Every structure is written in structure tokens, then in C-alpha cells.
Amino acid sequence: MKIRRLGNLEVSAIGMGCMGFTHAYGTCPDEKEGIRLVHKAFELGCNFFDTAEMYSYFENEEFVGKALKELPRQQVIISDKFWPEKLSGHTFEEDKLSETGIRKTLEGQLRRLQTDYIDLYTEHQMREGNEEEVAYVMGKLIKEGKIRAWGQSSPNVEQIRKAHAVTPITAIQSEYSMMARQWEKDVLPLCEELCIGFVAFSPMANGFLSGKYTAQTEFKGDDLRTVISRFDKENMQRNQPLLDLINRYANEKHCTPAQISLAWDMMAYDELVPISGMRREERVIENLGAADVELTTNEYRALTAELDKLTVYGDRNGLNKLVSVPESTKDQGEVYKK
């Protein structure tokens, strides 16, 4: 497995997003099978595992803690995120982003993860106006050894600059794929300017770019794709030219569409690391194998030029509405808690 750097962290070129082991994409593997798949990813060279307290309301962190405790702690990089507002189950009175609130949140996360430090600690979604205060607390936690590095999720340029000036940010975590390129205009160039890494979640657009789903696919229950507009039947049909383009490159490179999608992501920035959900062994092998699929500079430029000509229909805005409004925390739980 190739290695990339996120600040002072050396991580596998492709990481494992662990959210899907406890919710989000329909029926989950049982705990024993999920742990086996995490260990399989580690055997194949993946050392970067991502979770969040929001995922299944703390249950995903508990799963990750169980899955990683049998692996050498110094050989795995744990990426965890804290939600800026209180979740059901938080009992402290302090503001969530106050120093006391952050410390109490972190204590719970360390307990669930069964570790005494988190490698990459990220504010999950951004609350306006607290950037410098949060960055100051992150600096104290780094000095104390409770976290090794910190980051922001889906910030704008101003939020990055404010926080980075107080305590240097190691990585930004945001959606990035052939269907979600909004960060190319300003955030990615700023990351390069400030030597900040970029962790790309949903690098295959929630699985759309794998080509494994059609307009006839039914998504049910707590599957987030029921509210993500790119999976509307009409949009799936209208986005077929994008899949045709990816398939053409996959055939030429003798790999899968998923691997082309991940390889394209990694060409965008030397310090970009995609994290992909993988809930079956064949997906673990396929997705991590994308690290060995190389697009030449000319191939990348040609593919990107063709992408520029296409119109992308749909996005993840339906999901954004469910997870970004603090007042609807209880409703968010209906999606995240399964």
C-alpha cells in the first residue's frame, strides 16, 4: 500500500470509512464480520480508519474501538470527529465547543475507542464563529498528547484561515468526487498553499460512481441514498454519460469503475486521501487495490476535461438538510441511529 502524508501523520493512500458498519447504507454486516473486514483492510495495508460520534450516536465509535483493539495501536491511524452541537446522550451543561465541552466530548470518545489518544480529531460540520476558540483548544489537546492532529469538516476558506492561524490544521475532510468538485475553486488550492491535507469522503459519490446501481435499484429503510438526490431515478438516468465515461477509462486501464474514480481523486492533490466505505471483502480488495491504478498526467487531464463538459444531476443536499440543522438533532437521530 502506498503512503501519503497528512501533516505529521503517515497514512495509507486510501482509508476505510467505517460509518457503514453500523448504519447508513441498508443492512449492515454483523459485528464479527465487520471486525473481520477491518482486519482484512489492515492486512492489505490500510492503516487509516474514520469514524464519528454522530454515526449511530456513538455506536460506530464503539465498533471501531472493538475492531482496532486487537491491532497494534501505533500502526493504525484513528480519525474521529466531534459534532458541534450536543447529541442525545450528552449530559454536560457546557456549550459543546467550549473547552470544557470539547474535553468532555473527547473523554467519551476515547473511552468508546478504547484508546488514550486520537490521531486526527476533526470538527464535524462547522459552526460559524467559533473557529479560533476551537483551534486554541485543539492546540492544548495536542500538547497534552490527547490528540496528535486536528482538522475541520466542510469548512469554507475563511474558516480555514482563521483556525489555521491559531493552531495549524492537519487535514480538511469534505466530500470530493467526480460528482462533487466544489472545493477545486478555493479550498483545495488553499490546502496546497498552507500544506494542509485533504480527506475526501464519499469519493465514489455514495457508491454511484461504482456503476453497481441503476435507476431500478430500490433503497429502503435507513439507507441514506433514499434522500440523496443523485439517486433519484431521473437523475440516475441523466447521469449515465458520466458512468459511460468512467467505464471507458476502466476498460482501457483494465480495472473497475470504482478504481478509476478513486485513482482520479488521488490525482487532484498529492496530500489527498479518499476514505471509502467497504462492507464486503470483495469491495475491500477492489477499493484498496485502486492505490495501484495509476492515471498518467495526460490521462488525468483528458478525463478531467471530459468531466468539465458534462452536467452532473443531483447531489447530497437531501442528506445535508438532515445533518446540518442543530435544532433537529432528534430528527437526525432517526437517520443516524439504526
pLDDT, tens digit (0-9, with 9 covering 90-100), for 202-221: 999 988 999 888 777 887 77
121 is catalytic: no
In this structure, what CATH number is given to the domain that contains residue 225?
3.20.20.100
- Neighbouring CB atoms inside 10 A of 277's CB total 21
> What pLDDT score does 216 carry?
78
Using pLDDT thresholds of 50, 70 and 90, give the confidence band for residue 319. low
Among 55, 176, 269, 336, the one annotated catalytic: 55
> What pLDDT score does 321 carry?
42
- Whether the Cβ atoms of residue 202 and residue 37 lie closer than 8 Å to each other: no
What is the domain extent for residue 31?
Answer: 3-336
Q: d(Cα 13, Cα 34) in Å, to the nearest integer?
A: 21
The total number of structural domains that make up the chain: 1
Q: Burial of 122 by CB count in 10 Å (0-12 exposed, 13-18 middle, 19+ buried)?
A: buried
Identify the bridge partners of residue 17 per DSSP, sorted by sequence position.
50, 277
Pick from 159, 122, 98, 124: which is nearest to 9 by CA? 122
Pick from 283, 257, 230, 205: which is nearest to 21 by CA? 283
Q: What is the mean pLDDT of residues 11-19?
A: 97
Using pLDDT thresholds of 50, 70 and 90, give the confidence band for residue 289. very high
Q: Burial of 97 by CB count in 10 Å (0-12 exposed, 13-18 middle, 19+ buried)?
A: buried
147-153 and 15-17: which strand pairing? unpaired
Q: d(Cα 54, Cα 52) in Å, to the nearest integer?
A: 5
